[in-house]
Amino acid sequence: MIPETLKRGNSTRGALSRERDVREAYAAHSGELYGFAVRSLGDAGLAEEAVQETFVRAWRAGERFDPKIGSLRTWLFAILRNVVIDLGRARAVRPGVAEGGVEPSVEPLEEALLSWQVEEAMRRIGEDHRRVIVETYYRGRPYAEVAEELGVPEGTIKSRVYYGLRALRVVLEEMGYED
């Protein structure tokens, strides 16, 4: 399932043609964009290049940005996706890179986006909720064992899984997730 994850976001009024707008957009969105770039390119240096290229392209096309169509965040992510595709292509034709055996793994873009979103959402929910989901779901530990370790009843662990998934849903919706 590939959700239409980036349809919504914080709406920001105005074009992006001024350098001051770019500075503000960078302050608001660079962390997320960089996180996704690292996740999809698997390389910090390339991710920096991708984020830089994203903001430069956004500035060049700033007059075309229309907040009535979509949020600034959505627009920046759309540009970043194109940049990541371009960088991926450039790397694919660059001779010799793959031979060195250091080529970072490149996931398909949609998969990388989905992974990054879930990971980002997990980072944003509360520690208690994240921990029970990690221990029971990702590590597959029995609920009773996790309950004993945390010193709470097993029922509490189960309810934390529920509230944790609820919180994840809310965060993902804030990030633009729609069913």
Partner 1 sequence: MKTRNDCRDWRELLGVYALGQLEGDERAGLEAHLEGCAQCRAELALLEPVALMLPHADPERFESAPQPPPELGARIAATIAGERKQGEKRRRRRLFGGFALGGATAALATAVLAIFVLGGGSGGEPARHVRFASQGVSIDATLEPHAYGTEIRMYVHGVESGTLCKVSLRGPGGVAYPAGTFRYRWGEDSEAVLSSALDLSRTRAVVVRAGKRTFVAPLGRAPIAANTQLEEEPT
Contact residues: partner 1, CB under 8 A: 1, 3, 13-15, 17-20, 22-23, 26-27, 30-31, 34-35, 38-39, 44, 47-48, 51-52, 55-56, 59-60, 111, 114-115, 117-120, 122-123, 130, 133-134, 136-139, 143, 155, 158-166, 168-169, 172, 179
CA dist., res. 42 & res. 104, Å (int): 6
- Residues 109 and 40 sit within 8 Å (Cβ to Cβ): yes
51/74 with CB nearer partner 1: 51
Shorter beta-carbon distance to partner 1: residue 94 or 162: 162
Q: Can you tell me the distance from the alpha carbon of 113 to that of 139, in angstroms, rounded to the nearest whole number?
A: 23
The CB-of-95 to partner 1 minimum distance in angstroms stands at: 27
Shortest separation between residue 96's beta carbon and partner 1, angstroms: 27
- Whichever of 91 and 131 has its CB closer to partner 1, that residue is 131
Cα(119)–Cα(68) distance, integer angstroms: 29
Cβ nearer to partner 1, comparing 87 with 133: 133
Decide whether 96 or 116 has the Cβ nearer to partner 1.
Answer: 116
Q: Nearest approach, Cβ of 22 to partner 1 (angstroms)?
A: 6
Question: At closest approach, how far in Å is the CB of 120 from partner 1?
Answer: 7
The DSSP secondary-structure symbol of 142 reads -
Q: How far is CA 20 from the centre of its chain?
A: 25
The structure tokens listed for 123 are 């980072």
Q: Tell me how far CA of residue 119 lies from CA of 43, 83, 100, in angstroms.
A: 17, 22, 30
Calculate helix-pair angle for 19-41, 72-93, nearest 10 degrees: 50
